[in-house]
Amino acid sequence: MNSSSGRALSKIITIVTGLGMLISLYMVFVFAPTERTMGDVQRIFYFHVSTAWVGMLAFLVVFIASIAFLRSQKREWDRLALSSAEIGVVFMTMALVTGSLWAKPTWNTWWTWDPRLTTSAILWTIYVVYLVLRGAIEEPMQRARLSAIFGVIGFIDVPIVFMAIRWWRTIHPVVFDSEGFDLNGRMLLTFVVCLITFTLLYVTLLVQRYRVEALTDAVRQLKQQLEEQEILS
């Protein structure tokens, strides 16, 4: 795929994502029925689960890209891991915030050290440290290698977060189990549309962030070449 085709595809994805967001907002606040027990506060669920899903998806991409970098030593994979990690931290932050907004009227507390919440907070911390680590190491290849190792090890917490409500006693609600989703038809449709839309948003942001990092690398290389030419002259 050439650069013009790539830009065209990126524009299409961006437009589809924008339309998906509008549709999702309509479905969350108008189409989906009000939950009988929790009332309108239940509508936060659609954003909370979607952002949590994207956060863990982003960390999965970091995991895969980190392994690929360690095998190939190609900067492209390190660039992808960095871009996905930054987006993942943003979405996990949103998941923690929306979860707290839902918890206050439901559990009468902003936060509780429930297994799902605790492991999620640890996951967020792991990838914040990942970004801090990258900023602390100046040598590019050393930074990429150590970050890749950290990205692989840090992913261990992702399945733990997912399984926490199944392994331990928890007050966190289970969205789906072996018997299916605990949602009626319109709620389930709204939930699926939100998941798809937020996934498209992740893809859109990832493409743009990767491009920024690629341009940053190109500028850095050009600057280095100019400095070398000045030294030789």
Residue whose tokens read 């449709």:
189
Question: What is the C-alpha to C-alpha distance for residues 3 and 32, in angstroms, rounded to an integer?
Answer: 41
Query: Under DSSP, is residue 182 helix (H, G, I), strand (E, B) or coil?
Result: coil
In the DSSP assignment, the letter for residue 181 is E
Residue 56 pLDDT: 96
* Rg of the chain taking only CA atoms, in angstroms: 21
Max CA separation in the chain (angstroms): 77
Structure tokens at 30: 């108008």
Q: Tell me the pLDDT of the chain (233 aa) as tens digits.
A: 556 666 777 788 889 999 999 999 999 999 999 888 888 888 999 999 999 999 999 999 999 999 999 999 999 999 999 999 999 999 999 999 999 999 888 888 888 888 889 999 999 999 999 999 998 988 889 999 999 999 999 999 999 998 888 887 777 776 665 555 667 889 999 999 999 999 999 999 999 999 999 898 888 888 877 777 776 66
Please report which helix (H) or strand (E) contains residue 176, including its range: strand 176-177
Q: What is the rounded distance in angstroms from the CA atom of residue 29 to the CA atom of residue 143? A: 45
DSSP state of 28: I
Alpha-carbon gap, residue 162 to 219, rounded angstroms: 40
pLDDT of residue 224: 76
Q: Which residues touch 190 (CB under 8 Å, ≥6 apart)?
A: 24, 27, 28, 31, 32, 46
DSSP 37: T
Tokens of 199: 């996934």
pTM of the model: 0.89
Signed CA dihedral, 173, 179, 180, 183: sign only:
negative
Count H helices and E strands in the chain, helices first. Answer: 7, 2
d(CA 5, CA 193): 27
